[in-house]
Amino acid sequence: MLSLTQNILLAVLVMALAMSFMVLINRRWPANERYAKEDLIGWQLNILATTHAVILGFMLYTEWTNFSAVKLNAELEASALRNEFRLAEGLPQPARAQLEDQARAYAAAVVKDDWPLMSRGQTPELSHAINRSMWKTLMSVRQGSAAEMTALDHALSELSTLTQCRRTRLLQADSRLPGIFWWVLMVGGILTVSSVAMFGSRNPRLHAFQVFSLTLLITLAMLAIADLDRPFSGSVHIDDTPFQRARDNMNEAG
């Protein structure tokens, strides 16, 4: 999504537009005249602002919940990969060596290929190919001791978890807030800010502060929603730290 600099510039632009609209309204329609005719619309403005605040808060909470779920899923995937590498020690050769190499390759592929592609909105394929080869390696083990068969059973379970987490990660990377919700947020924000600017105040400084603070709050909330909606790109994103740690741990193990 947008970088931190782009977010700041967009917020400044929106603030400038809102304050300019307020100045234009005050020049064309003096506050004294508005108050003389529109004193009874205060309760309507309260309802409008409250409705938009509820919608905005709900959207922000939902996006943060989803963002946290994406981060947890990445941690679970990296944990399953580390467990897969450890369980390879209990497998017979040559499956042991193959699975260890594949686990290292998977971690490297996620760091070097998956994350950069997901940040650009593309679907990675290299880790899928490695994941498929890991399944072939485990399914090729036919005979062994009881301990080896136990290790194989646990390795298959961890690989199933790894595969499921990867699929979930790709779905989360492609998931977006539906356009209708963005329309609701934007139209609600425009109506709320414009209503505050039009309703006015007998104190120009107080009116300017009201418009400024409300516009700033709504803009920051919507920018936060936009950033959280794309969990693998933008100024706020999920990084590949869990897989970097997994890769380092496996390389240290030899």
Q: Position of tokens 């963005």?
A: 182
Cβ density class 109-124: b for 16+ within 10 Å, e for less: bbbeebbebbbeeeeb
CA 26 remoteness from chain centre? 40
Provide the pLDDT for residue 11. 86
Provide the pLDDT for residue 41. 58
Q: How far apart are CA 228 and CA 154, in angstroms?
A: 35
> How long, in residues, is the chain?
254
Provide the pLDDT for residue 73. 96
Do 7 and 235 touch, CB atoms closer than 8 A? yes
In this structure, how many other beta carbons lie within 10 angstroms of the beta carbon of residue 15? 15
Name the packing angle between helices 146-174 and 126-139 (round to 10°): 160
Q: How far apart are CA 81 and CA 165, in angstroms?
A: 10
pLDDT along the chain (254 residues), means of 10: 78 89 81 58 73 91 94 95 92 91 94 92 91 94 85 93 95 89 92 82 80 91 91 87 91 75
Do 243 and 110 touch, CB atoms closer than 8 A? yes
| C-alpha closest to that of 223 among 36, 22, 4 | 4
Q: Would you state the structure tokens that stand for residue 43, as one six-digit string?
A: 């309760």
User: Taking the alpha carbons of 52, 55, 58, 63 in that order, is the dihedral positive or negative?
Assistant: negative
Q: Position of tokens 């709900």?
A: 58
Question: What's this model's pTM, rounded to 2 decimal places?
Answer: 0.84
| C-alpha closest to that of 106 among 87, 133, 86 | 133
- At 75, which helix (H) or strand (E)? helix 42-87
Provide the pLDDT for residue 242. 93
Q: How far apart are CA 205 and CA 103, in angstroms?
A: 63
Q: How far apart are CA 177 and CA 185, in angstroms?
A: 11
Provide the pLDDT for residue 58. 93
User: How far lies 224's CA from each of 98, 207, 239, in Å?
Assistant: 44, 26, 17
Q: Is 107 left (phi over 0), alpha (psi -120 to 50) or beta?
A: alpha
Provide the pLDDT for residue 60. 93
Provide the pLDDT for residue 21. 87
Q: How far apart are CA 85 and CA 80, in angstroms?
A: 9
Q: How far apart are CA 59 and CA 158, in angstroms?
A: 34
Q: Would you state the structure tokens that stand for residue 250, as one six-digit string?
A: 């496996």
Helical residues (DSSP H) of 88-178, grouped into ranges? 95-109, 115-119, 126-139, 146-174
